[in-house]
Amino acid sequence: MYRIRFHGRGGQGVKTASRILGTALFDAGFEVQDAPRYGAERRGAPIFAYVRADKKTICERGIILRPDLVAVADDSLVAMPAAGVLQGIDDHTVLLISSATGAETWRERLNLNCTIIVIPAGESDADRSAQPYLGTICAAAAAMMTGLIPQEGLIAAIKEELAGMATETIEKNIHNAIKSYESMAEHKGIISEGEELSFSSYAPPSWVDMPFEAARISSPTIHAGATSVLVKTGLWRTMRPIIDPEQCKRCWWICSSFCPDGIINVSEEGEPQIDYDHCKGCLVCLSQCPSHAITAIAESVAGSVTKSKPNESKP
């Protein structure tokens, strides 16, 4: 059985990627199972979807724990533990990353023995969560890497899954897909089916006897306020708003009032400061600033421009 997992951010077409690959494999004569993992499907938040394909009926279900291929549409997720990109990767796994960074650098950075392949993504200042074709690009690369899907099968699957979208959008996706598909020609058939878990060598689960704990401990109650500030929603951000202190007119903190997340703090001098640990990058501040003092740059190229401010409000 082939087990393939797609990771990306909400808005990058990860669910569509799993459906395109699923449909293409199904049309190629495979039994298929594909599913997105809902829960955090908000724009910018990490999400994933998965595909299983086999010649036999598929009885396995749920999240893929031992992937043959992990395809990542947004390289900023790789090192984010909450995204779970690296979960279950072993030496036989192929890790495919859409990235401006080369495979060798990734190998050193991640200290992995598995095959790492990069789909070159240029340093771009575009908003990566507004690039739904990233998913299609990954699906197309994966299609070539299975070695099981002819180009026309891929195109047919894209047409089927994007049916209802504007012709232009479909054409653009197909164009990108073909480019990505062809670029992976040297890796055709590189994905191998992982070994099935055998009874003789399984690691028994470390079941525990659930201890009794009184209601004051075991009720689902949070005994404090605003603990949510521990959640770094800044990791969702694909576009970073930057306030130009020269342009800022020290108004009645319009940006701060309108910020849906309330993460623009205004100093006593009237100077607004963005809490990048929690800024989701919605850019409401940018649209509202009357003096146009706020600009946005892609998070992928922002690292060198601004530094994340440490979170000031601890629970």
Partner 1 sequence: MKRILLTGNGAAAWGARLACADYVPAFPITPQTEIIETLADWIDNGEMPGRLVTLDSEHSMITAAGAAAATGVRVFSATSSQGLLYGMEMLYTVAGWRAPFVLVNVSRGLASPITLEPDHNDILAARDCGFLQIHCATCQEVLDSVLIAYRLSEASSVRLPVIVNLDGFYLSFTREPVQIPDLKAAAAFVGAFDAEDIRFRASAPTSQAMAVLGGSPYSYFRYETHLAALQALDAYETIASEFEEKFGRNHPAVETYRCDDAEMLFFMIGCFATKAKVAVDRLREAGWKIGLVRPRLIRPYPAEAIRTILRGKHGVAVIDQNLSMGFGGVLHSELASALYGQPDMPHILASFIGGLGGRDISTEEFFEIATTLKRAIVSGETPAPRLLYTEDELKQIEKLQLIAHVERTGGERE
Residues in contact with partner 1 by the rule CB under 8 A: 19, 22-23, 26, 31-36, 38-39, 58-63, 65, 196-200, 202-208, 210-214, 216-217, 220-224, 227, 230
**Closer to partner 1 by Cβ: residue 33 or 76:** 33
Min dist CB 57 to partner 1, Å, is: 9
Min dist CB 45 to partner 1, Å, is: 15
Name every residue whose Cβ is closer than 8 Å to that of residue 165 and which is 6 or more positions away in sequence: none
Task: Say how far residue 233 (Cα) sits from the centre of its chain.
Answer: 14
**Do 100 and 122 touch, CB atoms closer than 8 A?**
yes
Q: How far apart are CA 32 and CA 53, in angstroms?
A: 5
Min dist CB 65 to partner 1, Å, is: 7
**Closer to partner 1 by Cβ: residue 19 or 240:** 19
Q: How far apart are CA 38 and CA 284, in angstroms?
A: 26
- How would you classify residue 280: left for phi > 0, otherwise alpha for psi between -120 and 50, otherwise beta? alpha
Q: How far apart, in Å, do the first and last CA atoms of the chain sit?
A: 47
**Closer to partner 1 by Cβ: residue 35 or 279:** 35
**Block residue for tokens 């800024």:** 279
Closest alpha carbon to 194 in 94, 300, 274:
94
Min dist CB 238 to partner 1, Å, is: 25
Q: How many CB atoms lie within 10 A of CB 55?
A: 9
**Closer to partner 1 by Cβ: residue 75 or 277:** 277
Q: How far apart are CA 145 and CA 57, in angstroms?
A: 22
Give the CA dihedral 85, 86, 91, 97, nearest 10 degrees.
40
**Closer to partner 1 by Cβ: residue 59 or 166:** 59
Six token digits for residue 194: 């992982």
Min dist CB 55 to partner 1, Å, is: 12
**Closer to partner 1 by Cβ: residue 211 or 310:** 211
**Closer to partner 1 by Cβ: residue 185 or 210:** 210
**Closer to partner 1 by Cβ: residue 217 or 305:** 217
Min dist CB 224 to partner 1, Å, is: 4
Min dist CB 197 to partner 1, Å, is: 5
Q: How far apart are CA 242 and CA 220, in angstroms?
A: 39
Min dist CB 228 to partner 1, Å, is: 10
Question: Per-residue DSSP letters for 229-266?
Answer: GGS-GGGG-SEEEEE-TTT----S-HHHHH-TT--EEE
**Do 6 and 73 touch, CB atoms closer than 8 A?**
yes
